[in-house]
C-alpha cells in the first residue's frame, strides 16, 4: 500500500494494478479465467475524486454501503462515465429501497421479506430492475445483516414466488478472525444447488481464498483507496 495522499491518482492506479494482478494470479492457481471474476472497488466514504481516479485507471465497477452517499456521489460520475456500474453492498433499510433501485445496478444485501416486498414495489414504480443478490449471514452473527443459513433457500423461493423478484446470486461476509473457507464453500454449494451464477465473496484480506472457492465478485476497498476517511466524532 502506498503512502501517497488520499485520492492521489497515481496511488489508486498502482493499487488497482496490484489487486488485478493478484486476482489474475489467484485465478491461475484455481484454473480459472480472470475474466470470470469482477472486481468491485468499494469507494464508501471516499470522495468522488477518488472514484474518478479509479475510473481513469480503468476501473468500472464500484460498491457503496449507504444509499444516501451513493445518491450524492454517483449521478454526476455517471453523467461523465455512463459505463460505470454501482453496487449497493451495505445493509438496506426498507424506506431506502426505492432510492436504491433508482441508483444501483446491483443490490447485494437483500435479506428479509419486508425488504423484498419494498424492492419489488420500487421496481414497479421506477421501471428499473437492478440485479439482486441475497446476503446470507453465514456466521449467525447478531450484529450483521443477512438471512440465516437455514432460511436461505426458503427466502429465495419467497423472493421469486411471492414478490416476482429474479435473484442472480448470493453474498456473504464471514466472521472476522475465523477461517473464511468453510463460509465460502457453504455459500458456493448453496448457489450451485439453487442454480445461481453470481457469488459475491471475498474482501481485501481474503479475496484470493474466495476466488479459489468460486467467487465471481470480490469487494476490495482499503487496498485500493487507502484507509477510509471517517469524520471525527
pLDDT digits (tens, 9 = 90+) for 9-53: 999 999 999 999 999 999 999 999 999 999 999 999 999 999 999
> Where residue 2 falls among pLDDT bands split at 50, 70, 90?
very low
Tens of pLDDT, residue by residue over 114-139, are: 999 999 999 999 999 999 999 999 99
What pairing do the DSSP bridges indicate for beta strands 38-42 and 217-220? parallel
Options 3.40.50.620, 1.10.630.10, 3.20.20.10, 1.50.10.20; CATH of 9-225: 3.20.20.10
Alpha helical stretches, state H, 104-221: 113-126, 152-161, 181-194, 207-212
Q: Is the pLDDT of residue 7 over 70?
A: no
Q: Is the pLDDT of residue 165 over 50?
A: yes
Distance, in Å, from the CA atom of 104 to the CA atom of 84, rounded to the nearest integer, reads 11
Tens of pLDDT, residue by residue over 187-221, are: 999 999 999 999 999 999 999 999 999 999 999 99
pTM above 0.85, yes or no: yes
Element (H, E) at 106: strand 106-110
Distance, in Å, from the CA atom of 36 to the CA atom of 33, rounded to the nearest integer, reads 6
- What are the two backbone dihedrals, phi and then psi, of residue 185, each rounded to the nearest 5 degrees? -65, -40
Grid coordinates standing for 77?
460520475
* Count of CB atoms situated within 10 Å of the CB of 160: 13
- Per-residue pLDDT, 229: 58
Q: Is the pLDDT of residue 186 over 60?
A: yes
Tens of pLDDT, residue by residue over 56-105, are: 999 999 999 999 999 999 999 999 999 999 999 999 999 999 999 999 99
Amino acid at each position: 500500500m502506498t503512502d501517497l495522499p488520499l485520492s492521489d491518482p497515481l496511488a489508486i492506479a498502482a493499487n488497482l494494478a496490484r489487486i488485478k494482478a493478484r486476482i489474475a494470479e489467484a485465478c491461475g492457481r484455481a484454473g480459472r479465467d480472470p475474466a470470470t471474476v469482477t472486481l468491485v472497488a468499494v469507494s464508501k466514504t471516499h470522495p468522488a475524486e477518488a472514484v474518478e481516479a479509479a475510473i481513469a485507471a480503468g476501473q468500472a465497477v464500484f460498491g457503496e454501503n449507504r444509499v444516501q452517499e451513493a445518491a450524492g456521489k454517483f449521478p454526476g460520475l455517471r453523467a461523465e462515465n455512463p459505463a460505470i456500474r454501482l453496487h449497493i453492498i451495505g445493509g438496506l433499510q426498507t424506506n431506502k429501497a426505492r432510492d436504491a433501485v433508482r441508483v444501483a445496478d446491483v443490490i447485494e444485501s437483500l435479506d428479509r421479506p419486508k425488504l423484498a416486498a419494498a424492492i419489488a414495489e420500487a421496481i414497479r414504480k421506477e421501471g428499473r430492475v437492478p440485479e439482486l443478490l441475497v446476503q446470507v449471514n453465514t456466521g449467525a452473527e447478531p450484529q450483521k445483516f443477512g438471512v440465516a443459513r437455514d432460511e436461505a433457500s426458503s427466502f429465495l423461493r419467497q423472493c421469486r414466488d411471492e414478490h416476482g423478484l429474479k435473484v442472480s446470486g448470493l453474498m456473504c461476509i464471514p466472521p472476522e478472525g475465523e477461517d473464511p473457507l468453510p463460509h465460502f464453500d457453504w455459500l458456493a454449494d448453496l448457489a450451485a444447488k439453487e442454480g445461481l451464477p453470481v457469488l459475491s465473496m471475498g474482501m481485501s484480506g481474503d479475496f484470493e481464498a474466495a476466488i479459489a472457492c468460486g467467487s465471481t465478485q470480490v469487494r476490495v476497498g482499503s487496498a485500493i483507496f487507502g484507509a477510509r476517511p471517517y469524520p471525527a466524532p
